[in-house]
């Protein structure tokens, strides 16, 4: 496998991000914006740094394919915010290459398949080593995407996108928890060890599940009034969706207002998690 990430970024990152600026120009979707796609790319590089994954990855897969798939996989949400957005994401990727005919990449069809099917649960099988290159690429993309659904950034992203899909706050925990459990199972099937990497993301998964379990309890017990988890969730809905704030603006607004407490800690943690590696 070609593993020159810096070279791939030099060739593709600025070009694609410039194109995506026009894709997102009239869409307010902070949870799945360009920064999400870049975080998924960094997750992909971290995933490939795991020896058990790298060794089993087919030589037909290279860094350029992983980068392009990462940067386009959720762009279809700008048109269709349902779970069927992968097809449109692949069409947007095609349009990028139509507009840039001099840019060439190995096996574009394989990239387009991975983008379209990154949310396809049926592709998440146990034996990564024996998968075809196209299914391996899809699996690597889907797992890298899954990792951005854990931690406090995952909490924020779930609240935003599930609200935009028409779910009430009261409905969200019971819809999120099985979805997140599926993502975690996908991750552990691929990384079935006790490495620091596995432990780190396992903790992030449990942090997010505990949040939604606690939120569910608070919403079911309205007599106690607005709880901390309830407050955090409603703040996301109010600031990001109703007021049209960016997540950075939301964090600044809340951290300026809150003086101490768990909610303040969550917003500070969210700021740390959305910041991209240098």
State pLDDT tens for residues 92-130: 999 999 999 999 999 999 999 999 999 876 656 668 999
pLDDT computed for residue 121 by the predictor: 66
Structural domains of the chain, with CATH:
1-145 (1.10.3210.10), 149-278 (no CATH)
pLDDT tens-digit readout, 234-259: 999 999 999 999 999 999 999 999 98
Q: How confident is the model at residue 278 (pLDDT cuts 50, 70, 90)?
A: very low
Which of residues 81 and 124 earns the better pLDDT score?
Answer: 81
Tokens of 167: 């779910």
Token pair recorded at residue 258: 């809150």
Q: CA–CA separation, 269 vs 39, rounded Å?
A: 16
3-state secondary structure of 177: helix
| 166 φ/ψ sector (left φ>0, alpha ψ -120 to 50, else beta) | left
Q: What is the mean pLDDT of residues 56-64?
A: 95
- The arithmetic mean of pLDDT across residues 175-196, rounded, is 95
* Degrees to nearest 5, angle at CA 234 with 232 and 236: 75
Q: Write the pLDDT tens digit of every residue in 162-182.
A: 999 999 999 999 999 999 999
Q: What is the pLDDT at residue 256?
A: 93
Write down the mean pLDDT value for the chain: 93
Asked if pLDDT for residue 80 goes beyond 60, the answer is yes
């Amino acid at each position: 496998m070609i593993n020159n990430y810096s070279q791939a970024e030099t060739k593709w990152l600025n070009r694609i991000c410039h194109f995506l600026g026009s894709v997102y120009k009239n869409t307010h979707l902070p949870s799945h914006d360009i920064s999400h796609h870049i975080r998924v790319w960094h997750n992909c590089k971290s995933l490939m740094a795991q020896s058990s994954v790298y060794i089993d990855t087919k030589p037909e897969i290279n860094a350029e394919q992983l980068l392009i798939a990462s940067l386009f996989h959720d762009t279809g949400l700008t048109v269709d915010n349902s779970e069927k957005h992968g097809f449109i994401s692949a069409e947007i990727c095609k349009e990028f290459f139509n507009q840039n005919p001099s840019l060439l990449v190995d096996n574009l069809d394989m990239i387009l398949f991975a983008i379209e099917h990154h949310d396809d649960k049926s592709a998440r099988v146990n034996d990564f080593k024996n998968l075809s290159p196209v299914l391996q690429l899809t699996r690597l993309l889907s797992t890298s995407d899954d990792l951005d659904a854990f931690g406090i950034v995952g909490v924020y992203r779930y609240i935003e996108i599930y609200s935009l899909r028409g779910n009430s706050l009261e409905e969200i925990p019971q819809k999120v928890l099985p979805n997140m459990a599926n993502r975690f199972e996908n991750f552990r099937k691929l990384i079935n060890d006790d490495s620091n990497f596995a432990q780190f993301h396992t903790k992030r998964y449990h942090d997010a599940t505990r949040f939604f379990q606690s939120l569910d309890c608070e919403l079911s017990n309205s007599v106690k009034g607005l709880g901390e988890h309830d407050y955090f969730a409603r703040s996301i809905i109010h600031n990001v969706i109703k007021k049209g704030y960016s997540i950075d603006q939301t964090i600044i607004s809340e951290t300026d207002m809150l003086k101490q407490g768990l909610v303040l800690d969550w917003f500070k943690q969210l700021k740390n998690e959305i910041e991209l590696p240098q």
